[in-house]
A and B are shown apart, each in its own frame.
Chain A
Amino acid sequence: MSASAKPTMMSASARKCAMPESLLKLFKNDVRRVPEIPHANGWIIFDHEMLISVLRNDNPKIRNELANQIEKMNRANGMLISVQR
């Protein structure tokens, strides 16, 4: 691989390996309380249900665009992991 073709960004999994041990221990003990049903307060949160709605959009052009974006994001570091679950 030439120097110019070398990836400039580490993948998420590679970075996890590089995570300081002390932080890893700390995070393992973190208790994060996530509301099962998001609060309202007049706001919409982009969540899994919204993503599903987007994916079920009946406009093939829009669906294709979304697929391209997901593909692009995956190549650029797996940024969509949190909505792929």
Chain B
Amino acid sequence: MNTEQGARDPPFMRNVGLLLTYHCPASCAHCIVRAGPDRHEEVSLEDARDWIRQIAAYRNGYVYVLSLTGGEPFSNLKLLRAVMEFAAENNLYISLVTNGFWATERERARQLLQSLPKISFLSISTDIYHQKFVPFENVKNAIWAAKECSIPFYVSVVADNKGDPDYQQIYTELLKLADPKQIRTGITFPVGRAADIKDDLRYSLSNEPCSEICQASSSPCIFPDGRVYGCIGPLYELQEQQPLYLGNLREHSVAEIFDRSETNAILHALRLWGPAWFVSQLREAGMGDHLPTVFVSESICQACYSILSDPAIREWLHQLEQDPEFRQKVAYGRLYHLEETRMLELDGY
């Protein structure tokens, strides 16, 4: 664990996600957006182009990377290619999240990656849930193709707990193909389809929440219907009733929503101190009865979700966000820890 201030904090909003489609050849039991073969909602090319144009123009090219996710972005290759081409024309770098279903053969996988506009990063998902639909051989082929095409990649794995033998077996296999730093593990959270199997999830539990700061909320994500969330995590299921819902592109421009997110004190407090800080503040404020008695070990998203899914806590947070002292603390905290001045400027300190 690194406690050095700011050294590994992702800069805010340099990376923006776009969920291209809910369609996916797999219907994994843990999928938070309930993607699957029967889902067909996707972003229209017209909307995607409009939003990409706005993203690229925002603060004269402030956003560097457009991360395309889903669902499975490769499931509609025509849409994927058109969106990638438009993003590249607008000088955005592109990263992709995929389960590698398309990598049925090495050479074919290489040709497909080469045929697309430049990919700056590839995230390949595999775990016990994905492997029920996508063979590990495909993941091996996708990794091989990424290496052949000199595309930096991560492998994303989820597990109910890191001591799970199935997870450890997958991790061991992955170590033969990738550096440990290229393997990123998340804990399954009981949201979306995973809520249906929550009693079967083999969590290890703790009395205290995960104490890490939040990195995911540095990258907002746009959904096909125009909703924008502060992260792609489980909070998405809370719809518009939570502080990390940033707005809808059908009602506001990208610039309006992104500017507003710069002064979202709850979001930036999560980046600065993580959900555990809120848990301690809530306990001090006598709100402990609204907190869970146990947390999922090492799951920062579960800690965050458990706080923000409670209506009384959301109301408390709403009040907190109006508090000038708290806002000042967050604005200066961003300067001190993250070297970010935007909130100081916009809030007029």
List chain A positions with a Cβ less than 8 A from chain B.
Answer: 9-10, 12, 15-16, 19-20, 23-24, 26-27, 30-50, 53-54, 57, 59, 62, 65-66, 69, 72-73, 77-83, 85
Bound CA–CA A12/B97 (angstroms):
35
Bound CA–CA A41/B31 (angstroms):
10
Q: Is the interface of A mostly helix, strand, loop or mixed?
A: loop
Contact (Cβ within 8 A) A26 B329: yes
Task: Select one of A34, A45, A66 contacting B216, CB under 8 A.
Answer: A45
Which residues in A have their C-beta under 8 angstroms from that of B339?
A: 12, 78-79, 81-82
Which residues in A have their C-beta under 8 angstroms from that of B37?
A: none
Interchain Cβ contacts under 8 Å between A and B, 6 examples: A19-B332, A40-B154, A42-B158, A43-B156, A44-B121, A53-B120
Query: B261 interface residue, CB < 8 Å from A?
Result: no
Nearest CB of chain A from residue B28's CB, rounded to whole Å: 10
Which residues in B have their C-beta under 8 angstroms from that of A72?
A: 60-61
Task: Select one of A9, A20, A35, A54 contacting B120, CB under 8 A.
Answer: A54
Contact (Cβ within 8 A) B97 A43: yes
**Minimal Cβ-Cβ distance residue in A for B212:** A33
Bound CA–CA A24/B329 (angstroms):
10
Bound CA–CA A37/B156 (angstroms):
11
Bound CA–CA A45/B8 (angstroms):
11
Task: Select one of A9, A37, A47, A80 contacting B10, CB under 8 A.
Answer: A47
**Minimal Cβ-Cβ distance residue in A for B123:** A44
Contact (Cβ within 8 A) A40 B186: yes
Which residues in A have their C-beta under 8 angstroms from that of B1?
A: 33-36
Looking at A34, A41, A77, the one whose CB has the most chain B CB atoms below 10 A away is A41
Query: B211 interface residue, CB < 8 Å from A?
Result: yes
**Minimal Cβ-Cβ distance residue in B for A47:** B10
Given known A-B contacts A15-B341, A78-B339, A37 and B180 have beta carbons under 8 A apart: yes
Contact (Cβ within 8 A) A34 B120: no
Contact (Cβ within 8 A) B14 A46: yes
Nearest CB of chain B from residue A51's CB, rounded to whole Å: 8
Which residues in A have their C-beta under 8 angstroms from that of B67?
A: 43-44
Which residues in A have their C-beta under 8 angstroms from that of B91?
A: 62, 65
**Minimal Cβ-Cβ distance residue in A for B13:** A46
Which residues in A have their C-beta under 8 angstroms from that of B11?
A: 46, 79-80, 82-83
Contact (Cβ within 8 A) A47 B120: no
Given known A-B contacts A39-B186, A40-B154, A82-B6, A32 and B337 have beta carbons under 8 A apart: yes
Given known A-B contacts A33-B1, A50-B65, A50-B120, A44 and B329 have beta carbons under 8 A apart: no
